[in-house]
Each structure stands twice: as C-alpha cells, then as structure tokens.
Amino acid sequence: MLIFTRVRKSPFWHLSIEQGAWRATIYNRIYHPFGYVRPEDGGAMVEYRALKENVTLWNVAVERQIRVKGPDAEAFVDYVITRDATKIPAMKARYVILCNSKGGVLNDPILLRLSQDEFWFSLADSDIGIYLQGVNHDKSFDVEIDELDICPLQVQGPKSLALMQDLVGDQVSLSEMPYYGLAEANIAGCECVISQTGFSGEAGFEIYPRDSTLHAEALWYTILKAGEAHNLMVTAPPHCRRIQAGILSWGQDMDDQHNPFQCNLGYQVSLSGKGEWNKAGDYIGKRALEQMRTQLRAGERPYKLQLVGLVMGGKPIEDFAPDFWPLATGEDQSPCGFITSPWYHPDIGRNIAMGYVPFDGTLNQRGFPIGTYGKQFKAYLPDEYAEYPGRPVDAEVVPMPFTKSYFDSARERFAT
C-alpha cells in the first residue's frame, strides 16, 4: 500500500511497523496495520492461535474517539442512537447503533459514558464525527462535539487479565470489573480509561490513553515489557475469531444500505410502547424502524435479504476475502445473495461465514427476523478455495455465534 501524507498515521503506526506489520488497510481515514505474520510463516492463523492460547496486543488507534460534552449531552446522544441513552450509567459502556432517517445503519460504535454530561463514541469505520457536528449545526443541543487525542489499544486473549493486572496493579480491581465497565488508571505515566470490551469474543480489555500522541511510545513499550511474562504477541485483530463470535464489522457485514432488523440488530431498536427497549423521546430513524417492525409482525417482508450464519465446504479460507462471493440456490446459478465474512473454523474443521440470503419471513421467539436454520445454498468460491474449480460448494444456514457445542452436536451430520 502506498503510504503518504493524505491518510493519517496514528501515534502507534511506527511502533506497529517496528513489530513487523507488513500490510495495512485504511479505516476511518487512518492507516490500520492488518498483518504481522507473513503467509510463508503461517499468516493470520498464527495470530489467531496467539489470541486463543495466550494474549495479544492490537493497535486499534483507527477507532476514533468523538466526544459529546455539555449540559445536553444525554439528550443529544439519545437522539442520535436507537437505544435509550438515559439508561446508561456513568462509567459504563454500551454497544449502540446510529441510523439515518431511512433506518440504515450509519455506525455501530462502543459508546462510553464518562459522566452525566460526557460521552465518547468509539467509532467503527464511517465519518460519524462530521455527521454528529452536522446534526447539531444549528446548536439545538448545548454540547461540544470534537475528536479527542485518544488512540485505543486492545489487549485480548485468555491471559489478558493477568497482563492488565501487572500493568495497573492495585489501582483497579479488574477481576471485579463487569463487562462494559469502565475504570481510570495510570499506565507508564499516561492517564487511561480502561474498558472490559473487545472485538474478539475472547476475554479482553481496551485501553484508551489520554493525550495518546504524547504517551504512545512509553505506553507501548511498557505493555510489551510486561507482556513478556505472558507470551504476548502483537497482532492484527483476528477476524477469524470475531466471525466465530458473530461480531459484525461495519462496511463489511452491514452499512447504511442495511437496516438493523436485517443484520440481526433489531434488539437495539427502541420502539413506542412498553418494554425494555422503549424510550419516550424521538430519535433519528424511529419512524422508518417502527414501520418495519409493524410490517414484520404482520408477516410482511420490508426488505429482501437477511444476514445469516453459514457453514460451508471448500478448502480452508485462512485470509481475508478480497470480494463478496455469490450465493445461489440449487442448480440455479443466478446469485440470490452473497457472503460478507468467510473464514476457516479450526475447532470444527469447516469454513464458516456471514452472508445475506433471501428473507423468508422467519422470526424468532422475540419477534426478530432470522434465517431458516438448515436451509441450503450454493457458495461460489474462488478456485483457490473451491473443492473443484468452477463448481460451487454446499452452504447451510446455522445459528450465530458459531459455538463449538452446536457444531459438536452436528459434527456427524457435517461429516456426511
């Protein structure tokens, strides 16, 4: 990839290069290291095993931190997200989504609430900072919206707690921190916010260093030194594991052309009436989303495609897909859907994927749309992964997340 001045480098960029990052992508208009182990040395699956067995450090400085602060911070945040911001306590985080007026998903950040009047949006890959400033262009809400010099790192894997305890000592009782809990701590002279969150489905923490540009090197080297005792490895975020966990990636598994219901995020939508997800105030996208929910409950299909989990044949997919691969039904080779996130699942010995298939109106017990488990499709993979060049492989709709217990119960069926 061409590296030049038009795209931002994070304060951890040169440190990632020092650790052997050999490829990168662009995320939130920032260079994002996306591979440390070269293919000839085992590639991304070596990084995956480090996450599963030990502990990994990720440079995720591309997660921009957009602060909303002021007397109307809660009201403003409540207006732009689909769930109830008033129910988020101080020093807690939540996974949230923002929709446009048509109900399309604009972003799915982690929202951190630092205090009554201060929120941070830890962004997925879209220009939500500029969007939020545009929403409040007329200063209807008494808030300031700006980007902070806070570039996160993630510490993920089964040894993450032990490493983090070495880093923060008695400052915070991390073992008692709830999931999505927040805490303040000092690491290597840098004031940090710590959350028990991550993009892996494994145990893990995220470190949000204040004044990152000033403290990046000291913080990075301190973590590396402490990690020696825990077999720490610097890696890219292993997407193999997040796919197993059913964690969506904005821009890959959804974008503003998809509504929350069709990408399994209907539980995030607050609707009028009683219930856990109701909130009294208006929010962007509410009318469109309420109409979709009404149509779904009436047995109608307000959209064509539904995101599902798939298990499929083919040779092991052990790197990122360069394109969206077609899905078809039976002998009909006309595409009816597409694969968004494929990877090989080592624990079950099969390829798994997320993808969009025709929505057949199936709802779960909570009234949210799902795919029909067991439904069969044909997946057209590139020749390097196809069992026979030019021929599709079988793909079957299965529940997400891709839990090992489910596949253990079905292993004999898959084997045949």
Q: Which residues are annotated as a binding site for substrate?
A: 206
Give the pair of three-digit tokens for residue 46. 């070596």
Rg of the chain (C-alpha set):
22
Hunting for tokens 């495609």 — which residue is that? 305
H-helix or E-strand spanning residue 405: helix 404-415
User: Using CA of residue 383, residue 386, residue 389, residue 395, what is the dihedral sign?
Assistant: negative
Amino acid making up residue 30: I
Name, in order, each residue with C-beta under 8 angstroms of 257's C-beta and a sequence gap of 6 or more.
Answer: 104
Annotated binding site: 206
CA distance 107 to 208: 20
Which of 138, 137, 128 has its CA nearest to residue 67? 128
Exposed/middle/buried for 322, CB within 10 Å: 0-12, 13-18, 19+? Answer: exposed
Report whether 156 contacts 203 (CB < 8 A): yes
Pairing of strands 376-379, 393-398: antiparallel
DSSP string of 227-282? HGGGTEEE----HHHHHHTT---BTTTB-TTS-GGGGT-GGG---SSSSTT--SS-
CA distance 281 to 156: 37
